[in-house]
């Protein structure tokens, strides 16, 4: 099913490569490296908003060994339920992403944009509010909080992502908003969505 979207998925890979490269350059310039930090971003409940990233993650997921895929899907169902219960109780959930195994992402090449960009301070051009500055993560503040900001502009990445998403939307005809955690994406059957 992914063949139909292959041009978009190949472009997304190139975009991810650009993000990783830009992120690496800036984090190296800061001397910031995250390894084994207690404020693990894989514990953070991030939402992802694009069908194209859902597709790309599912493409990676489809390549896993079937027994591992089944185990991860089951775990993703449990995580989704735990997150729901925590939110219903007014608690901000801190539950490990089902793709994190022994501290490593088993779909690292397929991880979504926010997994790639989180951590270092950044800026982006908001269509109404002009430039928005975003902070680094807690670990960044501990390691490099005293260092002057180095420009890391997410705007071109967001713009390219929006263009790719528009292309996938045109192809599918889907206009509904997309907002899911990684766990929620993994429990979905892409054939039923697309």
Q: Contact residues for ligand SF4 (CB under 6 A)?
A: 42, 97, 99-100, 105, 111, 115, 182
Residues 187, 73: contact at Cβ < 8 Å?
yes
CA dist., res. 169 & res. 159, Å (int): 15
Distance of closest approach, residue 99 Cβ to ligand SF4, in angstroms: 4
Distance of closest approach, residue 129 Cβ to ligand SF4, in angstroms: 27
Of 60 and 167, nearer to ligand SF4 (C-beta) is 60
Distance of closest approach, residue 97 Cβ to ligand SF4, in angstroms: 3
Of 75 and 165, nearer to ligand SF4 (C-beta) is 75
CB burial of residue 170 (10 Å; 0-12, 13-18, 19+): exposed
Residues 160, 15: contact at Cβ < 8 Å?
yes
Q: What per-residue string of b and e applies to 15-25 under the rule 16 or more CB within 10 Å gives b?
A: bbeebeebbee
Of 73 and 171, nearer to ligand SF4 (C-beta) is 73
CA dist., res. 142 & res. 172, Å (int): 44
CA dist., res. 81 & res. 95, Å (int): 11
Distance of closest approach, residue 106 Cβ to ligand SF4, in angstroms: 7
Distance of closest approach, residue 180 Cβ to ligand SF4, in angstroms: 12
């Amino acid at each position: 099913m992914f063949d139909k979207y292959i041009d978009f998925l190949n472009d997304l890979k190139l975009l991810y490569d650009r993000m990783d490269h830009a992120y690496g350059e800036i984090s190296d310039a800061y001397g910031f490296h995250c390894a084994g930090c207690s404020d693990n971003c894989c514990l953070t409940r991030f939402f992802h908003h694009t069908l194209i990233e859902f597709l790309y993650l599912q493409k990676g997921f489809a390549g896993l060994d079937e027994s591992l895929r089944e185990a991860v899907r089951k775990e993703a169902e449990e995580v989704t339920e735990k997150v729901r219960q925590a939110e219903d109780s007014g608690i901000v959930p801190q539950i490990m992403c089902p793709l994190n195994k022994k501290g490593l992402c088993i779909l690292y090449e397929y991880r979504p944009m926010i997994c790639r960009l989180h951590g270092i301070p950044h800026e982006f051009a908001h269509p109404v509010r002009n430039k928005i500055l975003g902070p680094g993560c807690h670990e960044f503040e501990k390691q490099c909080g005293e260092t002057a900001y180095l420009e890391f502009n997410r705007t071109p990445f967001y713009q390219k992502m929006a263009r790719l998403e528009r292309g996938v939307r045109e192809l599918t005809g889907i206009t509904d908003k997309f907002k899911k955690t990684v766990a929620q994406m993994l429990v979905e059957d892409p054939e039923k969505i697309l």
